[in-house]
Structure 1
Amino acid sequence: MIRRSTLVVDGPLAIRMQRLKAAREGSTGREIITLPLLAARLAGGFVAPIATDILYPAIQAALAAGGFRDLGRVSSLPGMPRAVLQSLIAIWRADIDLSSLPHVGRFADLCLLETRIRERLPASRMLPRDLRDAALARANFSSSLLGPVTLDGIVEIDAVWRPLLNEIARFTELSWNIPGPTEEQAWFKGFLHRLPVTPQATFSAETSADPKSEVVEALRWVRRLLSSGKANAEDIGIAATSTTDWDDHFLAHANSAGLPLHFSHGIPALSTPDGQACAALADVLTTGLSQERIWRLIRRLPPRPFAGTLPKDWFAGISRGAGLRTLEQWREALIAARSHRADDMAAEDALLPILELLARGPEAGHEAGRLLLSGASLAMWNEALRSAPPHSVSLSLQAMRVRDGRDPANSVVWCPASHLAASPRPFTRLLGLTSRSWPRLENDDPLIPHHLLDRQMLHGLTTADRDRRHFEVICSGTREHLIVSRPQRNAKGSILSPSALYPANELVHKRDRIPEHAFSEADRLLARPRDAGALEHVRQSQSCWRAWQRDETLTRHDGSVAADHPAILAALARTQSTTSLQRLLRDPLGYVWRYALGWRSIRLEGEPLQLDPIAFGELVHELIAGAIIRLEPRLGFARANADEIEAAIAAASSKVLASWPLQRSVPPAILWQHTVKEAARRTAKGLACDDSTRADTRSWSEVPFGQEMRTGGEWPWDETVKVPIEQAGLVFGGRIDRLDIRASGDGAQITDYKSIKPPPKSQRIALGQGRELQRVLYAMAVRILLPEIRTIVTRLIYLADEPARFELKGDELDAAVAEANTYLVAAVQILRSGRIAPRSEQDAVYDDMRLALPADRESYLRRKATDFRAASQKLGKLWYSSK
């Protein structure tokens, strides 16, 4: 015959460990439950304790009903459901009858909320006080339903359950195994059993630099215990009063170390794939559509129900740089890309209904979750929506925790101190023993501050007393080894003072110490430089570091390569652009990185509030091109009046307003309209600043040359012809911003527009230290492609503020062309020689790959300045010239 008994414990760790113990002992009649489950067992039927999946919707409905005296102004705030739940739980645990309190102000509102919540509960769910009363009515069945009842490892019993326990003691054997040196419990009518005092465990104290270092030392300690055989994983516990400061570090380091670490309080939901799917959905709903957000969402969605129906080529033909922040932009982009997809309509049929739903915003949260999520991600999403309004679901997801899938029976446990106090382990490590954490400071209840209701009445034990009691229980329950640890500083660098519970004698661990047992492979290599030095990538990095520190010596880690290196010869043999030639002159090493090695810097645009200078310049150029193309050749730019030019700019602006968001990321709608207006203003000023042009002059914009394929446009030359720079052995192509040619064919004017502010009028600009090479290259191209032209004028027009013009013509232009050829030959010789050095000038425009250089760039360049200047001597005159 099975003898029934009931063991009452506290916390998830104690439940799972006691169930393991019962299984090992073969105690099939032993039921292991918590106090709320004990009351539900006595109440009978299908009654169960109330849980958050029922409470949160009931609280939200109760708040939405309104009619409050004191809480009406804050009842709709995002954190209100959580605050109400926290306050009501404190009231229920303290066994306070809200109807007995003064029926005014805050208490009247809380009483009204409790009444509304009770009315909305299903019959099988009860509030704690109601559940306790229902159990009290059936306490006479305790002997047959529960058998002997034992309270084990419970530090403190809430007031709401005390009458029930005393009533149970009348009908069956009730005992309480009190852990540690706790206070007398005069209210308890059962049998009090003081647990025997365990022999004094080995006690030590350690100090680390910060919370991250504490985690590293804790995992080293775990590895030492496991590898030495002194302890099994289930014998080791690590705890803190509040785990927030250490959770992320434990999660990252334990995974990399492969240690069996169990989070008894759960891991952050957002650290799981299902949580990331929910976060991606919340991001789209709360911040709006964008291509980046939709990509992130689709990558993280479960295979069903939605992601499996989306064609694999749904994104074909859509520019990855496009912002796509409105439903209409998505619709236009998908329509324009139909020809790029195998099934031109499948992507639209699958994606557009979902985009329409997501565009509705947070209010579509429930429906979007049902359509896009499934399984664990859907359950997590629904839980987040229950605990917060739809527009603050992101905050709810951040606070949510889920099980980590590990069993504490074969794992090291990391948990709050309250969990470990209910189920101590032989080897224990307590973290964060600072004056702020052990014990913690008392905080007021969010809705019932101390001046409304005495804090002692609401919470019984203060937070500080509870933390001290947990510390005493853990100390008395640790049989083998107890380590207390504290950080010297917090994560922000502030100095922390030790806790009053922290001993005077401590062992200080430095960050760079060599541990007896490394917790991971990376930690082992950090502690054993000889082993790390045997790895090829470590040897290479050490060699690079030493080369960077060597004074006035150009090494292969600085840029030196073999003469006539095949990769450099291949880069020089390609058809150059005006941009690549400009980089060749300004930054030879940068040219090698980009065009020989193929490196590209990452542009983290996201959602810009304004266009960067380069993009704004492209916008102005596109408006200029659009206006000129609209006027040529039917009307002719030279013959157009101011109104016709203004109309052409307006038409180009309208086209750009709609087309750019489908091609690249642009600012939000209002800022984007303002940006285009500003670009149109500069365009109008730039086109109006020309001198009177002869009526027989023909104008072109964005004139191509040196292209791989014909464009089909009407151009003044064959656009596939490449322009040679014979002395340097280079060929190049590009697009001229604007080209004006007289009908007689004997004169041409080249215009290069700049959207930035002009230099002083007194400054003469020829090559501009290599920055203004483009207009000189354009002049070289026109001379070769149109040899009949005798007179060429090349202009720089700055459009910011009042437009300013800088011209080159005649002998001055000839000198600039000859100078450009000389410097291009010198740059090619430097690259072919293999002695290539970083530039010493501090120039942000050409430092977009700064990560390839040492972090302390200025000191590095200063240290090697002599050798670097010698390597780039042939270009030094260009870089430091005044024009």
Structure 2
Amino acid sequence: MAGTRRRSGCRDHPGSRLPRYGNALKSALATPQRQDHDIGMRRVGRQAVATVDMLDKVVKTRSGDQALRRTFIVDSALAAREARTRAARDRDHGCQVLSVDQAAARLAGGFLQPIPRAHLQDAIQQALADTDIGPLNPVRELPGMTRATTVTLQRAWDADLDLANGDARQRALAALDAAACARLRPSMRRPRDLADAARARLAHAPAVLGPVTVHRVPDLPPIWQPFLTALAEFVTVDWIPGSRPAPDWIPGTAIRLAEPEPATPARTAVSCANARHEAIEALRWARELIAAGHARPQDIAIAAASPADWDVHFQAMSRDANIPLHFAHGRPVVSCGEGQVCAALAEVLLNGLTQDRVRRLVPLLHSQCGRLQDLPSAWTRVLPRDAPLTSARLWRTYLARVTEWPDGYDFSVELIDLVERLELGPEHAGEVGEALLSGVSRTIWRQALAEGPADALDVTLQGLRLPDEVDPAGAIIWGPASTVAGAPRPYTRLIGVTSRAWPRRHGEDPLLPDHVVRQEDLDPVPVPERDERDFRALVTGASTSVVLSHSRRDAEGRQLGPSPLWPDDVPVTYLERARVAEHVMSEADRLLARPDEFRQTALARSTRACWRDWHVDEVTAHDGLIRANHPIVAEALARPQSTGAIQRMLRDPLGYVWRDILRWEEPAADEEPLVLDALSFGSLVHAVFQDATRALEAGPGIANANAEQIAGAARTAVERIAPDWTEKYPVPPALIWRRHLRQAEAAVPAAFAAEFGDGGPGALPDQRSLTEIPFGQTGWRDDEGSGDTPPWDVHASVQIPDTQVTINGRIDRLDLSGDADAAAVVDYKTGKLPKGRIEVRGGKEVQRCLYGFAVTALLGGTPVDARLVYPFADKALTLDDPAATLRTLADYIDLGRQQLLQGLALPGDGTEDKYNDLRFALPGDAKDRYFRDKRGLFRARLGELVDAWSLP
């Protein structure tokens, strides 16, 4: 029964009910109501105040008049959580932990509350739009104006400045202050209003607050000093400075000042290579304390003056180390799923629509915001992977062509609605975010728009933070020194103690600089002084040990020196970045400390073998030696080869394996390029040639057309091709795109003049020209062709004489004489004209020779003229002896095939080409050392194939 009475009494005690009733009524009053409910809400408010006052009077202990309640005043959220945890462990049911402004609001009654920063920032953003702020009007639209105004007003409130009676700038801020406060809830009051209301109700302080303890607060803003002084006349106020110095204004008041806590922690100092190394050493130190049983996670703290430079390292390393780490200053929003969906949305709005950006955004909207729930998991299958899809029009065009939908569900309406919203751009970021986001993501989006303009969303999101969900009561604390100093721990490590970072430099307020308001009045304790005070508090506040750490280099490699606060009497230990630590922080760190164990892993064996093979004077498997007669290689060589594959077989056997067997390829870019690359521009020119040739062949023919007809056909071809090209491929900005189109248009008359003019090879008798003619296509369907009707069986196999290699491809242009007794194949080249004689150019120009042979074989022995046309050099070159060139080329092709079957997939002359897209897979020093040391070995193994690289 006694136990039952204790539980019932504890549950129903007024001291327990009061916070619950007060919070419920406070939440109800804080809910925005319609204007027609104002009278009713005021009545409820009066009744609630009366109820709270009544409960205040009965909160007494059973034995006497001593108040059960007592109040702890702290200066940070971390200190508040630590104090509440301590009170819970001590079963201190009457303890309430508040900041000084919360304590004043509690005493003022009427459910008043301080103005939260987020609400003030929203109100200022709204007020800036329609408030005349005089001399500040020119900067109202600048990025960061809302945040700067918020900080300035809070400083002015804390300093108790009279802005309304100042100069023009101060009066402008006073007008903005009034406009913003008018948009806040009636319960939200400025510090001056709360302080005055609280001082009017000091008689209720014994019942409402009880004895007050100010715990480890460095100082109070000037606005709160008179309030606390007056409060000490009614209740006991104890100021416990801890390891911090006591403020100068306390002596002479009724506030009882406790003596500083004496502490002589063991001090050590270390020097690390850089910021990342400091984070590694900090977690090693923490794990050593925990593993040795000296400390629990809740006994350890790591602090920096400004922790931003280390956040990314600690976030990644704490996961790898599996050590609970509480970010006292909050975690970056972009590190969580809710922030990632905001970042993905901002990327699309700021940088434009692309397929990759939408592919990234849609799953995040699905998982974080519950949008697009009806989309099947295979929704991306309906999109052509290489299409840019850079506008809503292109999305509508492609989705309209889809005939088979995953799961039989047509979801084009949802996708088109999404991309149409995304196409609105940053000007409509607010409405797009409200429509697509929800929950925490929407809150983050609103806060980012309040912090700065929509055009700066990518920067603003990186600076936002969310409260850390890791409970500090069972975790290591990581955060700014000003926060950690209010809740010190026995084992503390200070990092970044360099001359540039600790103490930080003091700067003027951006809206109230020193020539307007003295910074001593606006900020009585400057930043450098605060940093020095926090440093001293942390160094002397750790009851057991403190470690000082600084970096020798910053992120840009500049040398750093220790802070002027660095103690001279503590010897410094220099730690190497690659040192083997006695205690490690993660599995990777453990393997680094145990090289013998790491050597046994498959990754280490493979890496070590690769590194050794790249440096020994012999040809190894990591250079390209593979198993002889490898079934995958044999299967690939049995397939029809493109002319590009033949070129790689001759000049780059290793590249042939990578591209044509392993199917490695460069990722296709779907963003708009600044200019078209050489390959894309060449494809554009070929498309214009194809369209213009067809148009001319429908009339006089390309050999008989005059200059005006050719120019008109080229112009018409560009007009037809440009819209279709923009739908299929990424194009540069409009001005550069038009320049590319003019160049492609000019290439047509120049090429035909070089080919059919004086000095050119000329036209065939009664010539007719065909474009995009396929051959050797085993799986070809008649509806796949985009060119003219082929004069042969497209499925017929074309085998190079005296080899087992078959080829396939598409001929850019095929010219046939009227009686089909003569033919010509034409290959357009948009690059520069090489110097010297051009036959196969060391294996670079095999296409026209192989295409010429294919035409001869498919037409039953018709002689073929193989031509190279350089439109921008006004040159048309013919192959002097196609048969002899083919015989020579066939010998080398067969040799290349045999060597691949023998396992010699080695780097060749083409591997060293600076335009080789797969050079990233080669050693990092390939150009400076690898090829220099091993080129001779490769050529010796490739034997006669090397001679092909010197062919004219």
Normalised by the length of structure 1, the TM-score is 0.95
Is this contact kept in 2: 1:358–1:364, CA < 8 A? Answer: no
The answer to whether structure 1 residue 329 and structure 2 residue 394 are counterparts is yes
Q: Distance in 2 between matches of 1:201 and 1:850?
A: 56
Aligned AA (1:702): E
Aligned AA (1:115): A
Q: Distance in 2 between matches of 1:128 and 1:871?
A: 84
Aligned to 1:817: 886
Aligned to 2:22: none
How far the C-alpha of 1:389 sits from its partner, in A, is 2.9
SS at the partner of 1:872? helix
Aligned AA (1:856): D
Is this contact kept in 2: 1:840–1:865, CA < 8 A? Answer: no
Aligned to 1:734: 809
2:819 to 736, 744, 749: 744
The answer to whether structure 1 residue 437 and structure 2 residue 510 are counterparts is no
Is this contact kept in 2: 1:316–1:340, CA < 8 A? Answer: no
Q: Distance in 1 between matches of 2:796 and 2:105?
A: 88
The answer to whether structure 1 residue 77 and structure 2 residue 147 are counterparts is no
Aligned to 1:856: 925
1:369 to 427, 433, 436: 433
The answer to whether structure 1 residue 584 and structure 2 residue 675 are counterparts is no
Aligned to 1:27: 92
How far the C-alpha of 1:488 sits from its partner, in A, is 0.4
Say if 1:53 and 1:488 are closer, same or farther in 2 by CA, change over 3 A.
same
The answer to whether structure 1 residue 468 and structure 2 residue 532 are counterparts is yes
Is this contact kept in 2: 1:322–1:664, CA < 8 A? Answer: yes
Aligned to 1:676: 741
Aligned to 2:7: none
Alignment of 1:99-114 (within 5 A): 99-101=164-166, 103-104=167-168, 106-114=169-177
The answer to whether structure 1 residue 537 and structure 2 residue 603 are counterparts is yes
Is this contact kept in 2: 1:210–1:487, CA < 8 A? Answer: yes
Is this contact kept in 1: 2:359–2:380, CA < 8 A? Answer: no
Aligned AA (2:609): S
Aligned to 2:838: 765
The answer to whether structure 1 residue 52 and structure 2 residue 117 are counterparts is yes
How far the C-alpha of 1:778 sits from its partner, in A, is 0.5
Normalised by the length of structure 2, the TM-score is 0.88
Is this contact kept in 2: 1:486–1:498, CA < 8 A? Answer: yes
Aligned AA (1:798): Y
How far the C-alpha of 1:877 sits from its partner, in A, is 1.8
Is this contact kept in 2: 1:723–1:781, CA < 8 A? Answer: yes
Q: Deviations over 1:454-498 (max 9, x none)?
A: 221111111111111111111222011100000001111000111
Is this contact kept in 2: 1:421–1:473, CA < 8 A? Answer: yes
The answer to whether structure 1 residue 873 and structure 2 residue 943 are counterparts is yes
SS at the partner of 2:257? strand
Say if 1:490 and 1:372 are closer, same or farther in 2 by CA, change over 3 A.
same
Aligned to 1:500: 564
Aligned to 1:160: 223
Is this contact kept in 1: 2:650–2:896, CA < 8 A? Answer: yes
Residue range with higher mean Cα deviation, 348-357 or 470-479: 348-357
1:91 to 138, 142, 156: 156
How far the C-alpha of 1:603 sits from its partner, in A, is 4.5
1:755 to 830, 846, 852: 830
Greater relative contact order structure (CA < 8 Å, 6+ sep): 1
Aligned to 1:786: 859
2:768 to 698, 701, 711: 698
The answer to whether structure 1 residue 240 and structure 2 residue 313 are counterparts is no
Give % identity. Answer: 38
Say if 1:404 and 1:465 are closer, same or farther in 2 by CA, change over 3 A.
same
How far the C-alpha of 1:314 sits from its partner, in A, is 4.3
SS at the partner of 1:301? helix
Is this contact kept in 2: 1:567–1:597, CA < 8 A? Answer: no
Aligned to 2:676: 611
Say if 1:195 and 1:698 are closer, same or farther in 2 by CA, change over 3 A.
farther
Is this contact kept in 1: 2:422–2:432, CA < 8 A? Answer: yes
Say if 1:777 and 1:520 are closer, same or farther in 2 by CA, change over 3 A.
same
The answer to whether structure 1 residue 176 and structure 2 residue 242 are counterparts is no
Is this contact kept in 2: 1:205–1:503, CA < 8 A? Answer: no
How far the C-alpha of 1:783 sits from its partner, in A, is 1.2
The answer to whether structure 1 residue 658 and structure 2 residue 733 are counterparts is no
Aligned AA (1:609): L
Alignment of 1:503-652 (within 5 A): 503-504=567-568, 505-551=571-617, 553-604=618-669, 606-633=671-698, 636-652=701-717
Q: Distance in 1 between matches of 2:85 and 2:811?
A: 79
Q: Deviations over 1:398-417 (max 9, x none)?
A: 11001231000000010100
How far the C-alpha of 1:133 sits from its partner, in A, is 2.4
Residue range with higher mean Cα deviation, 687-696 or 585-594: 687-696
Is this contact kept in 2: 1:175–1:191, CA < 8 A? Answer: yes
How far the C-alpha of 1:834 sits from its partner, in A, is 1.8
Task: Report the count of equivalent residues.
Answer: 872
Aligned AA (2:916): D
Q: Distance in 2 between matches of 1:815 and 1:694?
A: 23
SS at the partner of 1:7? strand
Aligned to 2:793: 718
Is this contact kept in 1: 2:240–2:260, CA < 8 A? Answer: no
Say if 1:683 and 1:159 are closer, same or farther in 2 by CA, change over 3 A.
farther
Say if 1:804 and 1:66 are closer, same or farther in 2 by CA, change over 3 A.
farther
1:227 to 284, 287, 291: 291
Is this contact kept in 2: 1:205–1:502, CA < 8 A? Answer: no
Is this contact kept in 2: 1:322–1:661, CA < 8 A? Answer: no
Aligned to 2:20: none
Aligned to 1:150: 213
Aligned AA (2:525): L
Q: Distance in 2 between matches of 1:676 and 1:308?
A: 43
Aligned AA (1:834): G
Q: Deviations over 1:764-799 (max 9, x none)?
A: 10001111110011011011101241x321111112
Q: Distance in 1 between matches of 2:340 and 2:190?
A: 33
Is this contact kept in 2: 1:155–1:179, CA < 8 A? Answer: no
How far the C-alpha of 1:682 sits from its partner, in A, is 1.9
Q: Distance in 2 between matches of 1:151 and 1:869?
A: 81
Q: Distance in 1 between matches of 2:686 and 2:404?
A: 28
How far the C-alpha of 1:500 sits from its partner, in A, is 1.5
Q: Deviations over 1:128-164 (max 9, x none)?
A: 2222223222222211111111100101211121121
How far the C-alpha of 1:181 sits from its partner, in A, is 4.9
Q: Deviations over 1:282-304 (max 9, x none)?
A: 12222322222222211221445
How far the C-alpha of 1:169 sits from its partner, in A, is 1.5
Is this contact kept in 2: 1:836–1:871, CA < 8 A? Answer: no
Aligned AA (1:720): H
Aligned to 2:868: 796
Aligned to 1:288: 352
How far the C-alpha of 1:610 sits from its partner, in A, is 1.2
Q: Deviations over 1:333-352 (max 9, x none)?
A: 2212x213258883232122
Is this contact kept in 1: 2:648–2:910, CA < 8 A? Answer: no
Q: Deviations over 1:436-469 (max 9, x none)?
A: 1221111111112223222211111111111111
Could you tell me which runs of 5 or more consecutive residues in structure 1 were left unpaired when the two chains were aligned.
Answer: none
The answer to whether structure 1 residue 122 and structure 2 residue 185 are counterparts is yes
Q: Deviations over 1:800-840 (max 9, x none)?
A: 3x32222114xx22221112111101211221222332125
The answer to whether structure 1 residue 397 and structure 2 residue 461 are counterparts is yes
Say if 1:656 and 1:765 are closer, same or farther in 2 by CA, change over 3 A.
same
Say if 1:51 and 1:476 are closer, same or farther in 2 by CA, change over 3 A.
same
Residue range with higher mean Cα deviation, 23-32 or 379-388: 379-388
Q: Distance in 2 between matches of 1:562 and 1:387?
A: 61
Is this contact kept in 2: 1:728–1:821, CA < 8 A? Answer: yes
Q: Distance in 1 between matches of 2:551 and 2:781?
A: 68
Aligned AA (2:413): D
Aligned to 2:203: 140
Say if 1:544 and 1:316 are closer, same or farther in 2 by CA, change over 3 A.
closer
Q: Distance in 2 between matches of 1:564 and 1:521?
A: 41
- Aligned CA-pair RMSD: 2.0
How far the C-alpha of 1:501 sits from its partner, in A, is 1.8
Say if 1:190 and 1:325 are closer, same or farther in 2 by CA, change over 3 A.
farther
Q: Distance in 1 between matches of 2:407 and 2:473?
A: 53
Aligned AA (1:514): V
Could you tell me which runs of 5 or more consecutive residues in structure 2 were left unpaired when the two chains were aligned.
Answer: 1-59, 62-67, 757-761
